[in-house]
Amino acid sequence: MTYDWPTLLPLIFAGLMGLAILIYVILDGFDLGIGILFAAAEDTEQDTMIAAIGPFWDANETWLVLAVGLLLVAFPLAHGVILTALYIPVFVLLVGLILRGVAFDFRAKVPAGRKHRWNRIFFLGSVIASLAQGYMLGVYVLGLDIGPGGMAFGVLVAFCLAAAYAAMGAAWVIYKTEGELQKKAVLWLRTALVLTALGMAAVSLATPFASPRIFAKWFGWPQMLYLSPLPILSALLFLWLWRQTFHLPRPDDRHSLTPFLTLAAIFALGFAGLAWSFYPYVVPDRLTIWQAASATESLAIILAGTVVVLPIIIFYSFYAYRVFGGKATDLTYD
Amino acid sequence: MDSLILSRMQFGANISFHILFPTITIALGWVLLFFKLRYNATNDSAWMRAYFTWVKVFALSFAMGVVSGVTMSFQFGTNWPGYMQHVGNIAGPLLAYEILTAFFLEAAFLGIMLFGFRRVSNRVHTLATVLVAGGTTLSAFWIIALNSWMQTPAGFEMRDGVAHAVDWWAIVFNPSMPYRLVHMLLASGLTVSFLIAGLSALRYLKGDRSESMWKALRTGVFTAAILIPIQILAGDQHGLNTLEHQPQKIAAMEANWNTGPNVPLVLFALPDEAAKENRFEVTIPDGASVILRHSADGVVPGLNDFPGNHPPVFPLFWSFRIMVGTGLLMLAVSWSAAFFLKRRHSLPRPLALLMVPMALSGWLATLAGWYTTEIGRQPWLVTGVLKTADAVGPVAGSHVALTLVIYLLLYVLLLIAYLGVLVHLALKAAKDGDTSPLPGVLNAALSQPAAGE
């Protein structure tokens, strides 16, 4: 491989897109998870849970816009192929995101009697969006196979991703609340964790068997050795977090952020595994990142902006999280 | 029906729904900044009440804009894969810069603007308002740049059917871009000023005479009165620019079939494209020549010069007239309201009653204007470069039809809910007036923010 711009730029953008997806999955993951957990929470708890995500969700969802945007602008061919193949699940995802996004705002502004309706819509939208994302992931992993096998696997991954989001949501609630709700969230986390582990195991096993190329990438020697930390570390983190849930919440609220960070680490490891499996393809076994990339001069002009702007975005995102740090309090517009 | 026409209907529905909300947030951000700066200067809590009332409208409109905007970014791929395949090298960077420079900025500081008044210093809260307002406007800049490029493409060359950028300056500041941007920003300003004036008039009719109502009412009415003549001027200039670069669009807007001098202005007609003539025509002699060429014997292009290459006449002719008619009504209403507020310090009841439905006049005019300009680009997606029919994806018509129906249903329900909340917020503000304490705040503490000072 020669390291000139036409080679490097698509690689850089694949990396940036992966980063945007990972950040999205972690950040909007807890928003969506809290929506899913709405079904198990009381009225007043729901208000607290919303207060825990209120100032953040807009910025969190922006990472999806960036991820899809990068797919659109950096890999226009892949964008068309993937999204036309996933036409219906994308539509379902959008309906879910629309319902989730607006219900969030409506529930705080409608007359008191109508709040319940929007709470239900918030739950429904979060569930729909999570399931659709999981389904899309499952179908993508199997190389955009829309046959019965692909669909069945898509459904499996859909439920597991929803569980993973619920786990993220529960972990965020543990971090942002105290008292009864916090204790409840520990129980939620425990349940969701089992399903999440199941899902990650299923995807990890299915991916190599769906594609001989991926199988060769994982189970040849010596790659197996280099790659073994990924599954082993993930499994250890799962077990460790599982044990932690029996001791939470701790006195003085120590380690309340730990479950969230642990889950984020597990997500990152799983994501790295997927990235390794698919590289260098952006549409599995059909289009490589170089075949699907935009013209070099277009990528260069986007990169110039990205290099300047991305650190600023990350900086002010941290600032926004810091401003609303600490336990969630009542959310008012003043 | 085939998936081309269905995809066009679907995209039309989505963009119509989407544009309603940026149209509000672009200018409302600056109005909120105005309220905030007035509060900072006067320490009068009525300005802050106006801020708190309207920041809720901003939040809701922003959320509606985000979710419908996300929908559109996916639909480029699901319905129009040919668009990015042919002009992705141009559209891509413009969209990327919109997301990077504008969208993140708005989204991150929106939280502080909405919920941060007690958590950050007053100065940082004002700064957050500035950044959100600036972000929405920057967002409009990039999107209008891309849209204008699709209307009047420049600064590129075609290689193997794919557009490649040659001159980014020429791409961003393409021939129609400045006109379009000014026209859109003014449209947003008018939409918001009529919305504020209309909902404040509703409060007024409900007996609310509080300071915050008056402040919002005056802000809305005077802004509208100032902006509308500027908009009429800007619209005229934009029309001349379109005449230069897209004469077939002007011909369709005027329903003029034959090129020539002394072209009359058609006030009313039912254009018949099959017969290439207008039925039930009512005209002003030489009117179109005077407006477009500023002289009675000015030559105005006719549709017969563009066989098979001009946009559909009927929708263009009528949407343009709806936009202009709404604009004239806005002029009359805002100037009379401004007169009464300035001279009589009151608002006559009939005028207040008229202002309530006029709260949505900006939406009507903006939509009609967008239909004029966007349908006016057909049959091209990118003028002279890419036909709409060549960009549509391979998705089955039945799938597009199914999703179209559900989208429409969803949008109608959401619009009803949105308007319901606007009215609810206005009535609640009318009931509370300036008498109840601000939500969650001790009145005395308002001028001394709790944190960070």
Residue of A nearest to B79 (CA): A84
Residue B380 bridge partners (DSSP): B387
- Closest residue to B77, CB basis, from A79, A93, A297: A79
Distance between A316 CA and the closest CA of chain B, angstroms: 7
> Which amino acid would we find at residue A42?
E
- Give the Cα-Cα-Cα angle B366, B371, B374 (nearest 5 degrees): 115
Packing angle, helices B177-205 and B313-339, rounded to 10: 50
* Interchain proximity B111–A55, CB inside 8 Å: yes
Q: Which value does ipTM take for this structure?
A: 0.83
Give B372 to chain A, closest Cα distance, Å.
Answer: 28
Nearest to B258 by CA among B282, B238, B288: B288
Query: Residues B165, A301: contact at Cβ < 8 Å?
Result: yes
| Residue corresponding to tokens 């105290």 | A178
Give A77's contacts in chain B (Cβ within 8 Å): 85
Query: Is B31 in contact with B197 (CB distance < 8 Å)?
Result: no
H or E, element range at B369: helix B361-375
pLDDT score recorded for residue B448: 36
What's the full length of chain A, in residues?
334
- Closest Cα of chain B to A322: distance in Å? 10
The stretches of chain A forming alpha helices (DSSP H) are 5-37, 43-53, 57-74, 76-85, 87-109, 115-141, 148-176, 179-210, 212-219, 223-227, 229-244, 258-278, 289-292, 296-323
Query: Which residues of A fall within a CB distance of 8 Å from B81?
Result: 79-81, 83-84
Separation CA B181–CA B187 (nearest Å): 10
**Interchain CB distance below 8 Å, A80 and B56:** no
Query: H or E stretch including B423?
Result: helix B397-432
Identify the helix (H) or strand (E) that includes residue B242. Answer: helix B211-245
Tokens of B282: 């009512």
CA angle B133, B135, B138 (to 5 degrees): 110
Whether B120 sits inside 8 A of A62 (CB atoms) is: no
Provide block-wise average pLDDT over 10 residues at a time, chain B (453 residues).
83 92 94 93 87 90 88 82 86 87 83 82 89 93 94 90 89 93 96 95 89 90 94 90 87 82 83 79 82 84 82 88 93 93 87 93 94 90 87 83 90 92 87 58 39 33
Token pair of B334, please? 């805002």
- What is the DSSP code (8-state) at residue B437? P
CA distance B438 to chain A (A): 8
User: Which residues touch B68 (CB under 8 Å, ≥6 apart)?
Assistant: A98, B14, B17, B18, B21
**Cross-chain Cβ contact B78/A84 below 8 Å:** yes
Q: Distances from the Cα of B350 to the Cαs of B36, B204, B355, B361, in angstroms?
A: 32, 12, 9, 17
CB A53 within 8 A of CB A189: no
How far apart are alpha carbons A60 and A64 in whole angstroms?
8
Tokens found for residue A259: 């479950």
**Taking CB atoms and an 8 Å limit, are B424 and A55 in contact across chains?**
no
CA distances to A72, B76, B82 from A80, in Å: 8, 8, 8
Least Cα distance to A270 among A205, A186, A173, A226 occurs for: A205
- How far apart CA B238 and CA B13 sit, in angstroms, is 25
Size (chain B), residues: 453
Instruction: Suggest the residue from A19, A32, A73, A120 to mutate for an interface test with chain B (most B CBs closer than 10 A).
Output: A73
- Check CB contact under 8 Å for B115 and A297: no
Residues A296/A9, Cβ–Cβ less than 8 Å = yes
How far is Cα B349 from Cα B340, in angstroms, rounded to an integer? 11
Tokens 């009528």 sit on residue: B318
Tokens of A268: 């990152």
pLDDT of residue B334: 93
Question: With contact defined as beta carbons under 8 Å apart, do B399 and B79 qualify?
Answer: no
Check B100 against A59: CB less than 8 A apart: no
Interface test with A, best of B39, B45, B51, B70 (most A CBs within 10 A): B70
User: Which segments of B43-167 does DSSP mark as H helices, in order?
Assistant: 45-79, 81-97, 104-115, 122-151
**Residue B408: its chain A contacts at CB < 8 A?**
none
A220 to chain B, minimum CA–CA distance in Å?
A: 36
For helices A115-141 and A148-176, the axis angle rounded to 10 degrees is 130
> CA-to-CA distance for B91 and A69, rounded, in angstroms?
11
Chain B interface mutation, best of A12, A28, A32, A72, highest count of B Cβ atoms under 10 Å: A72
Assign B146 to helix, strand or coil: helix
Nearest partner of A293 among A63, A144, A79, A69, judged by Cα: A79
Separation between Cα atoms, residue A82 and residue B84, nearest integer Å: 13
**Per residue in A110-148, is it b (16+ CB within 10 Å) or e — as a string?**
beeebbeebbebbbbbbbbbbbbbbbbbbbbbbbbbeee
Measured CA to CA, the distance from residue A150 to residue A139 in angstroms comes to: 6
CB-nearest partner of B108 from A88, A91, A320: A320
Q: Is B168 on the interface with A (CB under 8 A)?
A: yes
Taking each helix axis as running N to C, give the angle between helix B177-205 and helix B397-432, from 0 to 180 degrees, rounded to the nearest 10.
50
B91 at interface of A, judged by CB pairs closer than 8 A: yes
- β-strand B265-272 against B277-284: which pairing, if any? antiparallel
How does DSSP assign B282-304, residue by residue? EEETTHHHHHHHSSTT--B--GG
- Secondary structure of B202-227 as H, E, C letters: HHHHCCCCCHHHHHHHHHHHHHHHHH
Chain A hits for B54, Cβ within 8 Å:
none
pLDDT of residue B441: 43
Nearest Cα neighbor of B327 from B366, B288, B359, B357 is B366
> Which has the closest alpha carbon to A121: A147, A98, A145, A154?
A98
Torsion over CA: B15, B20, B22, B26 (sign): positive
Q: Residue-wise pLDDT tens for chain A (334 aa)?
A: 677 888 888 888 888 888 888 998 898 888 999 999 988 888 888 888 888 887 787 778 888 888 888 888 888 888 888 888 888 898 999 999 899 888 888 888 887 778 888 889 999 999 999 999 999 988 888 888 778 878 888 888 898 899 999 999 999 988 888 888 888 888 898 889 988 888 888 888 887 877 788 888 888 878 788 888 888 898 899 898 888 888 877 777 778 888 889 989 998 998 888 888 888 888 888 888 888 888 888 888 888 888 888 888 888 888 888 888 777 766 665 5
The closest CB to that of B73, out of A65, A331, A333, belongs to A65
Candidates A156, A175, A192; CA nearest to A53 is A175
How many CB atoms are closer than 10 A to CB A270?
21
